[in-house]
Structure 1
Amino acid sequence: MRKVYCIGETLIDFISLDKNKTLKSSGAFSKAAGGAPMNAAIAVAKYGGHSVMLTKVANDSFGEFLLHVMSSNGVDISHIVRTDEGETGLAFVSLGEDGERTFSFYRKNAADLLLSPEEVGDIRFQEGDFLHFCSVDLVESPLKQTHIELINKVRSAGGVVCFDVNVRTALWPDETMCRNTILQFITKADIIKVSSEELEFVSGITNEEDAIHSLLNGHVKAVVYRKGNEGAAIYIKDERVYEHPGFRVTPVDTTGAGDAFIGSFLRELAMLNTTPSNLTKLLHTHHNRLLIFANASGALAATVKGAIDSAPGRAGVMEFIKTMHEQSPNYKSW
């Protein structure tokens, strides 16, 4: 099984305890480890894979907490760089009745943005390793250049590049810069993950099918399209589409559900010894397995407070899939 390297932000989510209240009205918050790449790394490790986190962490109490959460969940933190220059980024999150979130970020001096290409120069990717990243840390910073360096490096080694667009416009100077940067990096990836809420913003196209197919350019071989409680689909460059309806649950907090989804998806692909040359074939062969496990992981993550750190491991996901299949023959079996 190959390694899944996740690069990008680690931060602290302060999640409102007052459901269906705005951040202005909320009076109490619960601390949780957060950051989409870190959540995905934890998901890979919790589901039995080998994940490696690439980031820069502040020498403060929150930084110590983040390192503890990652290591206690089995994430390889040996390449993480510590610094006194930056601070740990913060995100305050309010929750609606349906578990959906509103964010307010504090990360202008975030330590992770300071990670330079020289500080990850010792990493040696192997054929079949994965590099997973998101858009939050593609703002102009040393870390953006580090993304470019590592994408080129993993591609040269025969590894697979995955990009979860994970749009957070509040962290960009303007929406046009956010969209243009995402489009620039989409062409560098083998796998794109995008949600139904993000698709039109990223593509600029209102028609769903046309929007998805517009992303299948450059190195992109597949778009993984997540549709919330309606499941997910895999669009492959040769025009094939595979879908799974997902699993209906009562959401408590959707924070990290998308990261659990893509982390579990990548873990299953890594187990199959995937490379860029066999990726399309493996998606055709194993699409049902990939979508069922990813949808179940995302659904279960949405039933607990906080990000993936609180979600069940692989055994819990497999038991959930079995139970759902027994209750309803409409759910496809493994």
Structure 2
Amino acid sequence: MRYDVVALGETLIDFTPAGRSASGMRLFEQNPGGAPANVLAALAKLGKKTAFIGKVGRDMHGDFLLETLQNAQIDTRGVMQTDEAFTTLAFVSLTESGERDFSFARKPGADTLLCDADLDMELLQNTNIFHVGSLSLTDEPARSATFSAIRAAKAAGVVLSYDPNYRALLWPDVQTAIDHMRSLLPLTDVMKLSDNECELLTSLADPAQAAKHLVAGGIPLVVVTLGAEGALVCTKDGVQTVPGFACETVVDTTGAGDAFWGAFLSMLSECSKYPEEISLDEAADFARFACAAASLCVEKRGAIPAMPTLQAVMERLR
């Protein structure tokens, strides 16, 4: 089987606020998440063939995540379960505007124990795009496994997609995060980062300047998400800004960037071009489609359950 996108990294539980109990205690809702898994869920909802490579605990949360991925039509043959660590948990606090703050139970988490022996080479060699984030770089052996997987995919001519998802609490210090997050840049073919990650990845705070710097450094196609303002795309031909879509009500921004990137990668996979062949106008069209998907995601709670259908995205575009 040939896949549109295979991703490697973390799948975890986002415990998101869900009101208070009768006695006044805060309630949390168990939501499946993890950026690479969220991206695949967005792709699968848009009709793409996807597979996930990762590790979860042999526990109730790991079982739940496996079931969730399978129900989302994501191939889980590359997902391992371990007795050595518990499935990673993220507790999410939401502000009144829907923005997030995180606390993690990951010392270690099962996702950090992914090793070379766990990698399904057949998946890595039979996909159009291989997608990774940066959380698999925080700890060994997952860091080395990530590089092994990238080398295998690149040897097979697969496009590497990278989304450096910065979570300060998961790194010992900022400089360590910068060093490891930048280590994937020379291998990357298409990249998404948020406006507040620009300085970490390039030492340039301005999104346009940061994107140009990354393209000049050898990444053919770079996208910077700008929150409600939309996104900025950059190729060798220049920079173009794509406005966001108005939302009915912002309920939860968890997974919005992943919905965006899943939708963008769906367009890239569908066009059957390599990133260096994508024109600036084509990249802007991809980003407009992705902005519509992200605007729908934030209108629902959670990440994987909030990913929109192709029909919903097309209606928002109209």
TM-score (norm 2): 0.93
Structure-to-structure mapping, 1:165-176, within 5 angstroms = 165-176=164-175
Per the alignment, residue 288 of structure 2 pairs with 292
1:175-217 per-position Cα deviation (integer Å, ceiling 9, x unaligned): 1100111111122111111111211233222344332222225
Matched-pair contact (CA < 8 Å) for 1:187–1:217: no
1:89-118 per-position Cα deviation (integer Å, ceiling 9, x unaligned): 111101111110000011112111111112
Matched-pair contact (CA < 8 Å) for 2:6–2:123: no
SS at match of 2:183: helix
- Structure showing the higher strand proportion among its residues: 2
Structure 1, gaps ≥5 residues long = 20-24, 323-334
Structure 2 residue 98 is the aligned partner of structure 1 residue 102: no
2: CA distance between counterparts of 1:10 and 1:51?
A: 14
1: CA distance between counterparts of 2:35 and 2:123?
A: 23
1:95-151 per-position Cα deviation (integer Å, ceiling 9, x unaligned): 111110000011112111111112215325447621111111201311111110111
Matched-pair contact (CA < 8 Å) for 1:39–1:309: no
Matched-pair contact (CA < 8 Å) for 1:54–1:77: yes
Structure 2 residue 317 is the aligned partner of structure 1 residue 303: no
2: CA distance between counterparts of 1:14 and 1:124?
A: 30
| Paired amino acid for 1:6 | A
Per mean C-alpha deviation after superposition, the further-off stretch among 7-16 and 115-124 is 115-124
Of the candidates 273, 279, 282, which is equivalent to residue 278 of structure 2? Answer: 282
Per the alignment, residue 270 of structure 1 pairs with 269
Structure 2, gaps ≥5 residues long = none
Q: Could you say if the C-alpha distance between residues 206 and 82 of structure 1 is closer, same or farther in structure 2, counting changes exceeding 3 Å?
A: closer
Structure 2 residue 16 is the aligned partner of structure 1 residue 15: yes
1: CA distance between counterparts of 2:196 and 2:6?
A: 26
2: CA distance between counterparts of 1:89 and 1:316?
A: 31
Moved over 6 A (4+): none
Per the alignment, residue 240 of structure 2 pairs with 242
**How far did residue 219 of structure 1 move?**
4.2
What is the number of equivalent residue pairs in this alignment?
313
Matched-pair contact (CA < 8 Å) for 2:94–2:252: yes
1:73-94 per-position Cα deviation (integer Å, ceiling 9, x unaligned): 1101111112111110111101
Per the alignment, residue 3 of structure 1 pairs with 4
Matched-pair contact (CA < 8 Å) for 1:113–1:141: yes
Per the alignment, residue 51 of structure 1 pairs with 50
2: CA distance between counterparts of 1:243 and 1:210?
A: 13
Structure-to-structure mapping, 1:103-182, within 5 angstroms = 103-126=102-125, 129-182=128-181
TM-score (norm 1): 0.88
Per the alignment, residue 65 of structure 1 pairs with 64
Matched-pair contact (CA < 8 Å) for 1:37–1:133: yes
Q: Could you say if the C-alpha distance between residues 125 and 105 of structure 1 is closer, same or farther in structure 2, counting changes exceeding 3 Å?
A: closer
**How far did residue 26 of structure 1 move?**
7.1
Among all aligned residue pairs of Structure 1 and Structure 2, give the percentage whose two residues are the same amino acid: 35
Q: Could you say if the C-alpha distance between residues 132 and 73 of structure 1 is closer, same or farther in structure 2, counting changes exceeding 3 Å?
A: same
Per the alignment, residue 224 of structure 2 pairs with 225
Matched-pair contact (CA < 8 Å) for 1:17–1:26: no
1:4-24 per-position Cα deviation (integer Å, ceiling 9, x unaligned): 0111011101101249xxxxx
Of the candidates 294, 299, 311, which is equivalent to residue 315 of structure 1? Answer: 311
Q: Could you say if the C-alpha distance between residues 218 and 210 of structure 1 is closer, same or farther in structure 2, counting changes exceeding 3 Å?
A: closer
Q: Could you say if the C-alpha distance between residues 308 and 164 of structure 1 is closer, same or farther in structure 2, counting changes exceeding 3 Å?
A: same
**How far did residue 67 of structure 1 move?**
0.7
2: CA distance between counterparts of 1:17 and 1:42?
A: 23
1: CA distance between counterparts of 2:214 and 2:25?
A: 39
1: CA distance between counterparts of 2:28 and 2:120?
A: 39
Matched-pair contact (CA < 8 Å) for 2:8–2:54: yes
